[in-house]
Structure 1
Amino acid sequence: MLTLFDIGLHFPERVEKIGAVAEELALSQDQTRMYARFFGFESFRCDPEQALAPLLHKAARLVLERNEELGERLTHVVYCHTLPSTAVFSGDTHSVLEPFFAQGLEAFSVTMNHCATGLTALSILEEILTDDGVALVLIGEKAFHRVVRVIENATIMGEAGCALLVGRGVGPYRILGSATSHDGRFACITGRPGDDSLSAFADSYVDFACESIQRALTRFGVGLADIRCVMPHNVNIPSWTQIARQIGLDPHRILLSTIGRYGHCFGADPFINLQHARQQGVVGPSDIALLFSIGLGATASSALIEVQ
């Protein structure tokens, strides 16, 4: 059984209000009102002047400086990203991992489950980590273009660097299990405007999420009554309200308060929400939380966490 030892988050200092970036994102007045009033987006952290590697390395330094003994046991570094390529015609993925290659660590990139990749990586680490091994998981990317930032009538991306320390032993979060589901009908979806698959994906989205949550809970051997809180991906508020209603969960048990502050930060959202919930006292010792995310493709990944 794995333990999540620590979560490090780094956000760009630059704050964008949705009204201020509407023109840049080619949003009409009606779309801007929809994203703000209906979907719940207010502001985002996004800095075009900050490169990808520093965004992630600052998050990594936070957890490594707080956990020097765990850092000495570090064996693997995993970079999880939503986009198959995280920069335009550059070796930016390599620049993220280069400092760790130089230390002789096993470093690799994981993608293709899109925004669910960060949770999917936990099942990989469960298989490859030794009893003494520790992995640094890096999650995040740049929202460098409108096509990357906006999924029509669904969500808007923000930027965050997220770093996790994962291994075996005593720590604040026990990872009780992880699960992944796929819907292969949308394997070729791109998310770009004009993608013919987007409409069908949107129509199936809530059902796919509900089925994936129920399947995961069955696999974990728990029920909704056992879950203190769901730490979701920040797609939008109405989608999660529909999901909650359909599975019979009180919407107040889904942590949605960071959507307005940060937007959808690719694969980092469930961990942002877990950190926020712990800091705000929403979850405490012995509570069980479900981390959940859906990625285009379509993939749904989840992890069951027990707070220590």
Structure 2
Amino acid sequence: MITARLCAPAYELGEFAEPVTELPELLADPRVAAELTAPGAGFHTYHWSDAPVTELMAHAVRGTLAESGVPASEIDMVLLATDSLPGDRSAHRDVAELLEETGISRATAVTTGLMDCATAMVAVGTAASYVRDGTARQVLVVTGDLAAQATGGARIVAGGAAIASDAAASVLVSATASGLPVLGMAHHSDAGLHQAGAPQQQLLARVAAHRELFGRLAARRDGGGLDDVRTVLPSNFAGDVLELYLGDVRLGGDRLSRANVGRVAHCLGSDPLINLADRLAERKHAEPEDGTLVLFGAGVSHLAAVLLGAAPLPVRTEPGP
């Protein structure tokens, strides 16, 4: 079987950066403001854009193509993981322009959605399946959202656990380029997670959902478990919220990456890829690691995670698995 490799994550933040303390929503609610700006939560800056989401996507895609070394003309499929495209036929025009501007001339473009901030991780898992079974050799996953479209303009999101930013990210899932091997993917949905209920019931339901998701991800390894996970690169919720849910499944503490919560806020589905891009940039000249990494995206009623090998596989030049 062909090994799918995750290659060259890149991202583009909204062109304007503002302190979260200046958000009207926080100014109007001192209690929520205190919670989200406390050291345990960690929000400091959010980003916003007055450009269409496809413009942010184009910047990210160019970064991925340049870093991966795979020509745009060789991309077979583009999976667009977003809830921020127009809801009418103009979305077709916008996507066509995105492909034209980035030189992607022969790819089939498909949109995925309805899973909120878990959508991009499901798209990565889908791309890896296409590569492994030979349907495609080079699949580009592009995620991006603007709060104006994705959240109706709200900046306080995820039940008060995050502040939304505008951003886009992309990554190549490849049969041949140098990248991190995709070892498994799991997702979990529970419509009851977004239904009204007592706070304690909501907490217990979310704890149970995280246990289910990571139990499924561990099972993908034929009993190997997740003990060798070095880092979890998650959705950028408040740090104390992340620690609550991921600490319960023994993926918190030093293994949980929270460095970008303050710097970029919650870029919706793009968070795990943004966090991965920054991690790889920091380790560019470091020795290869053993073990695994987890990309984790959480939406209102959906969770998804992708398990990666921490050490990149080299460029594959010969046909074969």
Find the aligned partners of 1:207 and 1:103 in 2 and give their Cα distance.
44
- Conserved 8 A contact 2:75-2:138: yes
The C-alpha deviation readout for 1:125-167, integer Å capped at 9, x for no partner, is 2333437621111101111244365333221111221011112
Change (3 A) 1:251 1:171: same
Change (3 A) 1:154 1:27: farther
What code does the residue aligned with 1:302 have? A
Deviates more, 1:68-77 or 1:270-279: 68-77
Q: Which residue of 2 aligns with 1:302?
A: 305
Tell whether 2:141 aligns with 1:142: no
- Conserved 8 A contact 1:289-1:305: yes
Find the aligned partners of 1:163 and 1:248 in 2 and give their Cα distance.
29
Unaligned runs of 5+ in 2: 313-321
Which of 17, 27, 37 is the matching residue for 1:15? 17
Change (3 A) 1:126 1:280: closer
TM-score (norm 1): 0.85
Deviates more, 1:243-252 or 1:32-41: 243-252
Find the aligned partners of 1:35 and 1:73 in 2 and give their Cα distance.
44
Matched position secondary structure for 1:50: coil
Q: Which residue of 1 aligns with 2:270?
A: 268
Which of 184, 188, 195 is the matching residue for 1:181? 188
Matched position secondary structure for 2:290: coil
Q: What percentage of residue pairs aligned between the two structures are identical?
A: 21
Tell whether 2:51 aligns with 1:50: yes
Change (3 A) 1:46 1:27: same
Count of aligned positions: 296
Find the aligned partners of 1:27 and 1:88 in 2 and give their Cα distance.
31
TM-score (norm 2): 0.82
The C-alpha deviation readout for 1:3-31, integer Å capped at 9, x for no partner, is 1121111112311111111x156641121
Matched position secondary structure for 2:232: strand
Deviates more, 1:54-63 or 1:286-295: 286-295
Matched position secondary structure for 2:154: helix
- Conserved 8 A contact 1:288-1:304: yes
The C-alpha deviation readout for 1:100-149, integer Å capped at 9, x for no partner, is 38834201100112211111112322333437621111101111244365
Matched position secondary structure for 2:294: strand
Unaligned runs of 5+ in 1: 190-194
Superposed CA RMSD in Å reads 2.7
Which of 288, 300, 308 is the matching residue for 2:292? 288
Q: Which residue of 1 aligns with 2:90?
A: 91
- Conserved 8 A contact 1:157-1:264: yes
Find the aligned partners of 1:86 and 1:128 in 2 and give their Cα distance.
24
Find the aligned partners of 2:75 and 2:190 in 1 and give their Cα distance.
35
Q: Which residue of 1 aligns with 2:318?
A: none
Find the aligned partners of 1:201 and 1:180 in 2 and give their Cα distance.
19
Find the aligned partners of 2:63 and 2:141 in 1 and give their Cα distance.
13
What code does the residue aligned with 2:183 have? L
